[in-house]
A and B are shown apart, each in its own frame.
Chain A
Amino acid sequence: MHRRLWALGAMATLLLSGCGSSTASSSSSNSKQITITFDAMEYSAASNKYFPAFVKEFEASHPNIHVHLRVINWSLGHQVLDTEIGGGHAPNVAIIGTRWLPSYVNSGLLVPLTSFMTPTFSKEFYPAALASIRYKNVQYSLPEAMSIRLMVYNKSLFSKAGISGPPKTWSQLATDAIKIHRITGQSGYGLVGSQVETSLDYWYTMWGFGGHIFRNGRGTLTSAPDLKALEYLDNLIKSGGTEPNVTASTRAGLETQFSSGKVGMMIDGPWLVKEALANHIPVGVASIPAQPGVSPLNPAITDSMVMFKGPNEKASWEFMKFMFTKPIRTTFDKTEGMLPTMKTVGAESYFEKSPVFRPYLKALSGPTRHEPVVPHFDAISLAVTNAVEAAYSHVTSPQQALSQANAKVTAALK
Chain B
Amino acid sequence: MKNTACPPKGSEPLMSTSRHRWQGLIYLMPALLVITMAVGYPIVHLFEMAFGQTNSFGIITGNAGFKNFSGLFASGLMRVMLNTVIWTAGILVPTIIISLALAYAVSLPLKGQSFFRTIIIIPWAIPLTIVAILGDMAFNSTYGQVNTLLLQLHLISHPIGWLATARTSFPVMMILAIWVSIPFTTLTLLSGIQAVPGEILEASAIDGAKGFYRFRKIILPQITNALQLVVLINLAYIFNSFPIIWIMTQGGPASTSSTITIFVYQLAFTLGQFGQAGAAALLAFIILMGLGVAYVKVYRRTEGNLL
Considering only CB atoms, which chain B residue lies closest to A394 in the complex?
B165
Q: Is the CB of A393 within 8 A of B140?
A: no
Give A256 to B140 CA distance when docked, in angstroms: 12
- What's the Cα separation between A152 and B271 when bound, in Å? 33
A107 touches B55 (CB 8 A): yes
A118 in the interface (beta carbon within 8 A): no
| With A103-B56, A393-B164: A194-B142 Cβ-Cβ less than 8 Å | no
Which of A1, A245, A256: most chain B Cβ within 10 A?
Answer: A245
* CB of B90 within 8 Å of the partner chain: no
Given A253-B140, A378-B272: A247 and B252 within 8 A (CB)? yes
CA distance A376 to B55 in the complex (A): 12
| Complexed CA–CA distance, A196 and B252 (Å) | 10
List residues of chain A with CB within 8 A of the CB of B19. 1
Provide the bound-state CA to CA distance between A385 and B251, in Å.
12
Cβ contact within 8 Å between A244 and B250: no
Contacts of B163 in A (CB 8 A): 194, 245, 247-248
Which candidate, A75-83, A221-229, A326-334, A352-360, is the interface stretch facing chain B? Answer: A75-83
Task: Give the interface segment out of B104-112, B180-188, B253-261, B290-298.
Answer: B253-261
Asked if A85 meets B254 with Cβ closer than 8 Å, knowing A103-B272, A194-B249, A247-B161, the reply is: no
A39 neighbours in B (Cβ, 8 Å):
none
Q: Are A245 and B253 in contact (CB under 8 A)?
A: no
Residue ID in chain A nearest B159 by CB atoms = A244
Judging by beta carbons under 8 Å apart, are B140 and A248 in contact? yes
Once the chains are docked, how many angstroms separate the CA of A6 from the CA of B249? 58
Mask, A385-414, CB within 8 Å of B = 1, is 111011011010000010000000000000
Q: Which of B164, B268, B271 contacts A245 (CB 8 A)?
A: B164
- Which chain A residues (304-358) contact chain B, with CB distance < 8 Å? none
**Chain B stretch 242-274: residues in CB contact (< 8 A) with chain A:** 249-250, 252-256, 266, 268-272
Q: Say yes or no: B253 contacts A82, CB within 8 Å.
A: no
Considering the chains assembled together, what is the distance between the CA atoms of A56 and B266 in angstroms? 37
B237 at the interface (CB under 8 A from A): no
Interface size on B, residues (CB 8 A): 34
Q: A386-B255, A389-B253 are in contact. Are A248 and B161 (CB under 8 A)?
A: yes
> Of residues 347 to 379 in A, which have CB atoms within 8 Å of B's CB atoms?
376, 378-379
Q: Is the CB of B56 within 8 A of A82?
A: yes
Bitwise, B54-69 to A at CB < 8 A (1) or not (0) is 0111110000000000
CB distance from A84 to the nearest CB of B (A): 9
A193 lies within 8 A of chain B by Cβ? yes
Question: CA A46 – CA B160 in complex, angstroms?
Answer: 35
Q: Is the CB of A107 within 8 A of B57?
A: yes
Chain B nearest CB from A238 CB (Å) reads: 14
CB atoms of A193 and B253 under 8 A apart = yes
Asked if A161 CB lies within 8 Å of chain B CBs, one says: no
Bound-state CA distance A386–B251 (Å) is 10
B87 within 8 A of A: no
Given A194-B252, A378-B271, A382-B271: A82 in contact with B58 (beta carbons within 8 A)? yes
A85 in contact with B57 (CB, 8 Å): yes
Check B269 against A393 for contact (C-beta < 8 Å). no
**Residues of B close to A35: CB separation below 8 A:** none
Q: Which A residues are in CB contact (< 8 Å) with B57? A: 82-83, 85-86, 107
* Distance between Cα atoms of A198 and B270 in the complex (Å): 15
Interface size class of A (residues with CB under 8 A): 35 or more
With A and B bound together, what is the CA distance between A378 and B26 in angstroms? 50
Residues from 210 to 247 in A contacting B, C-beta threshold 8 Å: 243-247
**B23 lies within 8 A of chain A by Cβ:** yes
B212 adjacent to chain A (CB < 8 Å): no
Chain B residues within an 8 Å CB radius of A387? 254
B143 touches A (CB below 8 Å): yes
Shortest B187–chain A CB gap in Å is 32
Chain A positions 54-85 with a Cβ under 8 Å from a chain B Cβ: 78-79, 82-83, 85
Do the beta carbons of B253 and A393 come within 8 Å of each other?
A: yes
Residue B141 interfacial (CB < 8 Å): yes
**Is there a chain A Cβ closer than 8 Å to B239's Cβ?**
no
Query: Cβ of A47 < 8 Å from any Cβ of B?
Result: no
For B55, list chain A residues within 8 Å (CB).
Answer: 107
Pair B269/A392 contact, Cβ less than 8 Å: no
A169 interface residue per 8 A CB criterion: no
A195 at the interface (CB under 8 A from B): yes
Say yes or no: B56 contacts A245, CB within 8 Å: no
In Å, the complex CA distance between A395 and B142 comes to 23
Q: Which chain A positions have C-beta within 8 A of B170?
A: none
Known contacts A82-B58, A86-B58, A86-B59; is-contact A243 B142 (Cβ 8 Å): yes
Cβ contact within 8 Å between B253 and A194: yes
Within 8 A of A (CB), among B53-95: 55-59
| Chain A residues closer than 8 Å to B250, beta-carbon distance | 194-196
The 7 closest A-B pairs by CB, nearest first: A245-B161, A389-B253, A390-B254, A248-B164, A86-B57, A245-B164, A247-B253
Can you list 25 A-B contacts (CB < 8 A)?
A78-B269, A79-B269, A82-B57, A83-B58, A103-B56, A107-B55, A194-B249, A194-B250, A194-B252, A194-B253, A195-B249, A243-B142, A245-B142, A245-B161, A245-B163, A247-B163, A247-B252, A248-B163, A257-B143, A379-B271, A382-B270, A382-B271, A390-B253, A393-B165, A395-B253
Chain B residues at the A interface, C-beta cutoff of 8 Å: 19, 23, 26, 55-59, 140-143, 158-165, 169, 249-250, 252-256, 266, 268-272
A79-B268, A382-B270 known; 7 new pairs, CB 8 Å cut-off, are A82-B269, A193-B253, A194-B164, A247-B161, A248-B141, A376-B271, A378-B270
